[in-house]
Structure 1
């Protein structure tokens, strides 16, 4: 960050005790030095990541599921019929004296329970893999390449969690577009009609969207946090973590919207096979609907990911802090501050 670079590097790092090398050199990226960790610390990092990631994922999914439902319906190819019905249903039944809330819940929260069952392990796996991978890479990479360590760790975490996230996303989006009434029913019918591979529909497009998304979002978040710490000469508080998470989410969400549209179209098409693959999907959308169709749902997506980033990273850092405080006293207290 600009403010961090304008200040003397040595004094900032000394005040935070981040680097313990004798000679300081100019940094191209904000960075921290990671101490050598024994296997016990690595396992502790993994399990704390599982807990923190699972907690943050469930909180975000529960809070923002309606926005995600609206985004999915905007991106679906039969946008007008579904969108109009959704808007009228919400307007009519929310004004009703009784029963309106239940119908809105069934519409916008369709598939929430089943989705949480997938989000919990997926988020846990992601952070559980990301944290020790990040620490290992930061030990191996030069200090001025810490951003690349964060990028790679985000991609590795995303790849590991995709085995759970993709089936969850397929079921969720099929329910959000009204194809199924319950998650168990969705899984059963998808497998019976499309085979087990139906649960991984759009897997390639999912990786195309989520691996860059995870890598970029976590890299931006980590680098901003490190730069902010160096500039402020203190640890960040909860609102500051949330604000940085929101900024990282908004920026990354906007950039990756076209990839999200492609992923949604491939996942909700079912056995109709309207698209033959990623490139055919792009060509068909651009030909039939124009290039602007690749930005469908950008408003709800940016809103959802921006707020979601704020909640996710805020809860994540708070949970990690609470878990760090419960570590054995014999552990070096400096290690809990390392990012």
Structure 2
């Protein structure tokens, strides 16, 4: 990858991340509270819907920038070795690798953000300080495994679908897609991916919000999913699906549309 392409991916990815995270933050708060074990009302209801926004603001740019740099570098490096038929496999691999790298920043951001969302009276700074004091640095990475296990399946569905829809639209109109068309493809891809991976998102949220020392706090996804199934059934596994799908559909439109537009402008 050329230096210009690298910088374009870095800046476009970071700007796209900040755009979607800050614009749609209230929907993310509602989703977190719906998924919390204590329930929507006790977690804050509609009060303080911007609780935790400083954490999101700090982490969104480097998180998204790291993802897209990794994604584009992987595509650039392996692209010549891949045929048109196997291109979706490359997109799956590149997106999965990008998610794993991005989670190094995303997980600490998510831990502080979600705990602030579930306890809006504490404030972001106090949540961060309490987490460090009580659990140390490992506390900021609580749920790293469950986040990666959620993000990889999500990325393996979203990005090949996004790339496929762009190719299909381009073929239909016999010209390259515009940024707004890329955004529409991103909305469809994001919404579908969000729906099918909601149970993994619920498990990730429960693990991050669990009290230290509890079984859920150990970070094991399958036992957490089993416990949710046993206590709340299918509705528990898909709690928060409406705000999640709405948030990620709108987020996919803004995120991938902004990335495509800024990336083209910088190049």
TM-score by length of 1: 0.75
Return 5+ residue gaps in structure 1 as ranges: 1-40, 90-106, 325-339
Is the 1:180–1:186 Cα contact (8 Å) retained in structure 2? no
Equivalence for 1:135: 76
Where 1:143 maps in the other structure, the secondary structure is coil
Residue 68 (str. 1) matches residue 11 (str. 2): no
The answer as to 2:22 corresponding to 1:43 is no
1:163 aligns to what? 104
Instruction: State the SS of the aligned residue for 2:85.
Output: helix
Distance across 1 between alignment mates of 2:80 and 2:264: 22
TM-aligned CA deviation for residue 272 of structure 1? 4.7
Which of 172, 182, 191 aligns to 2:123? It is: 182
In the alignment, the residues of structure 2 paired with residue 183 and residue 50 of structure 1 have an alpha-carbon distance, to the nearest angstrom, of 27
Superposition deviation, residue 266 in structure 1:
0.2
Report Cα offsets for 1:253-306 as digits up to 9, x if no partner.
001000000000000113152414222211211111223210000000000000
Greater radius of gyration (CA): 1
Comparing 249-258 with 142-151, greater Cα deviation is found at 142-151
- 1:278 and 2:221 aligned: yes
* Structure 2 length-normalised TM: 0.94
| Secondary structure, aligned partner of 1:185 | helix
Alignment pair present for 1:287 and 2:223: no
**Residue pair 1:118, 1:168 contacting (<8 A) in 2 also:** yes
Q: State the 4+ residue runs in structure 1 displaced beyond 6 angstroms.
A: none
Superposition map of 1:1-339 within 5 A:
41-82=1-42, 86-87=45-46, 89=47, 107-178=48-119, 181-275=122-216, 276=218, 277-324=220-267
* 1:274 to 1:227, Cα distance in 2 relative to 1, 3 A: same
Q: C-alpha separation between the residues in 2 aligned to 1:179 and 1:202?
A: 21
Matches of 2:41 and 2:252 in 1, distance apart?
A: 31
State the Cα distance separating 1:80 from its structure 2 match: 4.8
> Number of residues paired by the alignment?
265
5+ residue gaps in structure 2? none
Counterpart-to-counterpart distance in 1, 2:226 and 2:157:
26
Deviation at 1:179, TM superposition (A): 6.2
Q: 2: distance between equivalents of 1:255 and 1:45?
A: 33
Q: Distance in 2 between matches of 1:216 and 1:86?
A: 31
Contact kept in structure 1, 2:199 and 2:225, CA below 8 Å: no
Distance (whole Å) between structure 1 residues aligned to residue 18 and residue 89 of structure 2: 28
Q: CA deviation at 1:151?
A: 0.6
Per-residue CA distance 1:67-96 (angstroms, 9 max, x = gap): 00000000001115426x524x5xxxxxxx
How large is the RMSD of aligned CA atoms in angstroms?
1.6
Structure 2 CA distance for aligned equivalents of residues 320 and 224 of structure 1: 19
Partner Cα separation in structure 2 for residue 124 and residue 270 of structure 1: 32
**Cα deviation 1:218-277 (Å, max 9, x = unaligned):** 111011111211221112123211111100011000010000000000001131524142
